[in-house]
Chain A
């Protein structure tokens, strides 16, 4: 809209600048809590943004267009929420085998790889908007961490002890990069350097900060938190952090799976080791390089899915969507990714729950059980490929 008024001495030009997309209004909005949408609002929103996203990928990625065409699928055919389970999905293996990009006109800012826990690595290319939305997803998901991570915390009041490497050192490794994104919230000190973990120094930093009276956050993989907690539990000199410390874990146990303890055990150990007042001060987050959003736990340790992501568990053999509450292979449609198609079946076994969460937030929650073995994953991928080939033939 342009309106120009003229008078003897003054002119006025009144113009409305670019409208943000419906998704960006929610991802970057501060007033509306995306986890507090009514179920009906949430369903409509999810359907709309997924259709927008799939149309974008069809327009900008000829491989996606032909993939959908081979499956006689069109984003316009999505009329109800239940239809989202009919979207043809990629195997997560695709990201390991080829460059998959939908960024026709926008430059790729960074390319990220998975940690390679199970051998081959996925490579995902992200453009500016995709990275911006990732940061928006983190900020919105951080609502789940209140009051331990105050929403408007001043970065001069909080210090983070990051048990992993810095963003620079993380390089292309997605897990380390996303853990280091916490530095946006507050100044961070990193305790992995040159591939070596300095947990003793991290323990000293925690003690010092608690003694000086400041607020502190610990960010790291569960196995590093486990080691740090064990270190404190083995001595009498332990911090008494009470309400002044929170812990965010992410990334799973990776190659340390043999030492893994169940989350409730790790939380109980952490409460004792750091002198916390509640297990609620310890939260886990889930993300993987192929996914552009993060799922944080609420007070009840349930991981909430934001309303721009559709998650379904699938039967491990047939790959068909299974009802909520049953364990299966996790699959995702994430509307926030622009530079690459983000609709895929992952290697994780998990359960999607549609039960209302006691925290009062709406939308599904997810629980992860294990990652399927490489051989099994390859089997699933082959089955998926075979299934897709069959569909192609039909």
Chain B
């Protein structure tokens, strides 16, 4: 409660402090910029003589560049597209930093019966096998390690049915003779081997996380504002 009250008070103070004030009209400032450029030509025109055309021209903001409106929107779209393209991230293998790690084959190409391993620990306990190749085009269906019951009915996930404790639970794990895929954790820790520490995330976001979130919101708001401004351009009849 105290925190909420304090936050509300601070918000009120912040709004009062950052209350919007008038800011310079961008249209006027833009005009001023290039009328300064025109100013030289105005002087030269006046030197030629005070004809009526010169009188008119001296008060003109200048001729409009040809096609300024038609090309403006297209250029803007291209620029936005170019800005957005480098932000597309490709999926990176989680084993990219481990020495000697083979690339993980895509899941969709695994044949049926391939055991999957816990890649973090390198152990082979409780391997999960791909029981069915799954529907074409779709991901394979993962089963816990259990003898396949009937083999049919692809697409239905069947829980392992324990009929009787005929075997000790340890022998429930099939013995796998395939050498483990991950070799790095089994080697003695070399000096240059990167140690993969598990990332511990706290359930409560840090203030920096909040700040980044708010910064993102502000950027989205800015983009929306600019988009709204740009849409005014051709609104006039």
A-B complex is real? no
Measuring CB to CB, which residues of chain A are less than 8 angstroms from any residue of chain B? none
